[in-house]
Structures are given as C-alpha cells and as structure tokens.
Amino acid sequence: MTPASIPLGAAPGAERSTDPYLPEHGNGGYRVLHYDIEIDYRVVSNRLTGKAVVTGRAVQPLTRFTLDLARLGVRGVRVDGRPAKFEHRGGKLRIKPDRPIGYGATFKTEIRYGGKPGPVSGRWGDIGWDELSDGVLVASQPNGASSWFPCNDRTDDKASFLITFTAASSYTVLVTGDLVARRRGAGTTTWVYEREEPTAPYLMSVQIGRYEMVELARGGVPQRAAITPRVRAAFRHDFGRHGEIMTAMQRLFGPYPFREYVVVVTDDDLDDPIEAQGMAVFGRNHVDGRRTHERLVVHELAHQWFGNSLTVADWRHIWLNEGFATYAEWLWSEDSGGPSANAHAAGWHAWVAAQPARFAIADPGVDRMFDPLVYKRGALTVHALRAEVGEQAFFALLRSWVAEHRHRTVTTAQFREHAARHTPKSLDALFAAWLDRPALPALPRVM
C-alpha cells in the first residue's frame, strides 16, 4: 500500500477555514510564511514537473493539515525532512506528519508533484492554469491557484514567493515577481522570480508566450509590457497614456505598492482583463488602436492598490476591490478631461435603479461575487462617501487607507471605522443605506 492510499480521516480544526464563500478551500490551522517552487514545464505536451517547499507556522497544535492542489498528482511529501503520510483527492492534499507540530512552531513541507495542469472547474467556469493557442495563461481569482502549485488557498494567508521556472527558450516566461536570474540551458531557459511582498495565492500568476518586451512608460515606476508583433502599433496608441495614468493613480492613492508593473497582451481573445500581483493580462481583443478599452487599463492598474496590496480578508468584502477599481475609472476620466465622476455616477445610478434590488453589496453571496452590481454600486458608494465628507477629507482618507493597510488584508468594517476618523459627521446611515440594504439610495452630487 502506497502512502497516498492510506486514509487519514479528519482531525478537529485540521481543515478549519474562515471564508464562508469558499469553505472547502484553505486551512486555518497554520499560516504560510514562504513558498519556494521549482517547475519544469513542456509547453507542447503540457507536462509539468514541480517541487514546492512550503514554510508555515502553526497557529494551533497540528497532528495533520491540508494544502490545496487540483488535477496534478503527488509523488511524495516530507515534513521537516521526514517522509509523511498523505492522501490526495478532490483537490485536497491531506498530510499527516511523522511527528505532531506544536503551536507556534515553524515547519517546512516539501511536495513533489506533476502531470498535465488544467483549470479548476466551478461556478465561475474554468479558473487557473489555461492553455492558449501557443502558450499559457494563469488567472486564479478566486480559487484557481491550486491548479499549478500546492497552496493554502485563502485570501488572508499572504506569503512571499520564490518561483524557479524552466521552459523552452523560444518562449518568454513571466511570473508575478521581480526577475532575479535567467539561465540558458540546452534548448531551455530557467527564469527565477522573487515576490517579497506578502501575496495571496490567487494573485500569483504565470504567463508563457512568444512575447517581445517593450517599455510602457519612462521614469518613475518601471512599467513594461509583453506583447506579440501583431498588436505592436495598436498597443502603442492604446497604452500611450499609461505613464500619465500611473502618475494620476499615485497622486490619488499614494505610492505604487510594488517595484514594477507588467502588462501582458496575449495572442488570444479574453472575455475580461485579469489582475495579478504587479501584473495585468489583456486579450488581443482589448487592443484596437482606438483606446476603446482604456477604462479597463485604469481598472486593472487600480487593483494594484485595491485588491493586491490591500487584499480582502474573505470574499464577502469584494466590493472593496471592485468598487474602488471602478471608481478609479471615473476619477481618471475626470482627471484626463473626459466625463466627470458626477456624470459617470449619474449614468450608472440610473442603470442600477433599473435592475432588481436583490442583494446588499456588503455581503452579496457567493453566487453574486462578480455581479456587475457589486462593481457599479460599490463605485457609487465611494462617490456618495466623497460627496458626504468633502474633497479634502475624501482623498486624505483614501491615501491613509492605502498606506495604513499596505500589503495586509482588509474588511468592510475596517473601512467604515477608517472613514469615520476623517469626518466629524456620522457615516453610519450612509454606509447602512449603500452597503447593508438592497434598496438604492438617492445619488448625492460631489460639489
């Protein structure tokens, strides 16, 4: 009998999770400090061989624990250098170490794994590792990180990463992180990326394609793009104001929270752009030479502050990601000579008013996490707050919210408390009306 076939049963607290929307994902018995992942990948055959060393700290005594890993097979597990019993099924890797792990102890789990990676299927379609016509795209929000590495797949378990990735030299490999080394072998290249900032697993991404690297903007934050030759001319126009957008976002929200920003334009069409830590991915259909999709460029960049540096503690609070990123679109429009935030708010308030008032955005429910109402009503909530507290207080509270919670997790309750510190007015009624009740309030106007 192999170790993988030994049933481990369950242990109290061994799979405790705090996200009510995705209770089957993650483990609350420990916190990950660091992931060290080595991957050898064959693009043509879609074969992955990997080794992950996960350094964690127990927040309760552990006789067993779990990691999330979908589709790929597990060849062996060691905990602190000693072979461990394990069971792997249903996307869950259940591990029983040779010795119990005490409360507060730091421990290392080594997992050797591999196979043909693919996306995790669920209520939002296929999430995670996805083969393109000639390459790979990884879009893991909200629960697809386990499609390519074993992880504690929770938004509130942010860790640092070291990713060593080997693929054919004809391909460019981009991983969310800072490129610290690149080594050429016999027909292959090994890319080493380091992500020092605490990062939720779903925000780690891999992009593989026949890309050329171009500069997005000069000066300030390094901004680069990976594109294919066919979109080069249209890309220069569509992303031509990116340096100005970055400058505006920093003025509004505070310093950019990472060392660089990378845009990837795949050679395939995508339904929607995708944000990752320090990266955004667009389809070739988002580049048309007319700046049709510039608001999406702004939206994905804004997520680097709202969603990536400040990450929701669980998915109930998703309006904090999407409402602020949507409002950033309106702020850029206002800043760049387009329609004002008041005009955008009026238009979208009319649109929301025409929809059934089915749920409150402070807790929309798992089936409505990505409902357009969460995005648009979330932005309207931010606009109503701006109208209530005034320009000076609003932008001060926005910048201090970002600064005080940099690289941490946040909740709606924390934001309410933070906003209340910046005005003598009570904001209880405003937040109750806009966040806690389905009925749509009247729209105030920013003066």
pLDDT attached to residue 1: 31
| Residues 272-285: b if buried by 16+ CB within 10 A, e if exposed | ebbbbbbbbbbbbe
pLDDT above 70 as % of the chain: 96
Question: Structure tokens of 343?
Answer: 């005009």
- Residue the block writes with tokens 């390094």: 222
- The pLDDT tens digits of the residues spanning 337-363 come to 999 999 999 999 999 999 999 999 999
Q: Which residue has the tokens 């990676």?
A: 117
Q: pLDDT digits over 304-338, tens only?
A: 999 999 999 999 999 999 999 999 999 999 999 99
Distances from the Cα of 275 to the Cαs of 108, 280, 307, in angstroms?
30, 4, 9
Summarize the confidence of residues 202-229 as an average pLDDT: 96
Q: Say yes or no: do domains 30-116+144-196 and 212-304 share a fold.
A: no
Q: Mean pLDDT across the chain, nearest whole number?
A: 95
- pTM to 2 decimals? 0.95
Q: What percent of the chain is predicted at pLDDT more than 90? A: 94
Q: How many CA atoms lie within 13 A of 182 on its CB side?
A: 11
Q: Are 377 and 327 in contact (CB under 8 A)?
A: no
**Would you say residue 7 has pLDDT above 90?**
no
Q: What is the pLDDT of residue 145?
A: 98
3-state secondary structure of 325: helix
Q: How high is the pLDDT of residue 122?
A: 87
In the chain, the amino acid numbered 315 is W
Q: Domain coordinates of the chain in residue numbers?
A: 30-116+144-196, 212-304, 312-436
Buried b (16+ CB within 10 A) or exposed e, 408-435: ebbbbebbbebbbebeeeebeebbeebb
pLDDT at 60 over 80: yes
Specify burial of residue 337 (Cβ count, 10 A radius: 0-12, 13-18, 19+): exposed
Closest CA to 81 of 53, 113, 51, 49: 53
11-20, 188-197, 327-336, 416-425, range with the lowest pLDDT: 11-20
Backbone angles phi, psi at 305, to 5 degrees: -85, -50
Q: Is the pLDDT of residue 268 over 70?
A: yes
Q: Of 98-107, 116-125, 344-353, which range is least confident?
A: 116-125
> How is domain 312-436 classified at the architecture level of CATH?
Orthogonal Bundle (1.10)
Mean pLDDT, to the nearest integer, of 127-131? Answer: 96
- 432 Cβ neighbours under 8 A, 6+ residues apart: none
Please tell me the predicted confidence (pLDDT) of residue 6.
32
pLDDT at 372: 97
**Strand 279-282 with 274-276, pairing:** antiparallel
Residues 269-285 have a mean pLDDT of 96
In this predicted structure, what is the pLDDT of residue 219?
Answer: 85
Pick the CATH number of 212-304 from 3.40.50.2000, 3.30.2010.30, 2.40.30.10, 3.30.70.360: 3.30.2010.30
What tokens does 140 get?
Answer: 């893991």
The CATH superfamily of 30-116+144-196 is: tricorn interacting facor f3 domain (2.60.40.1730)
Instruction: Give the long-range contacts of residues 419-426, CB within 8 A, separation 24 or more.
Output: 419/385, 419/389, 421/397, 422/389, 422/393, 422/394, 422/396, 422/397, 423/388, 423/389, 423/390, 423/393, 425/388, 425/389
pLDDT tier for residue 2 given thresholds of 50, 70 and 90: very low
What's residue 17's pLDDT?
56
Distance (Å, rounded) from C-alpha 299 to C-alpha 242? 12
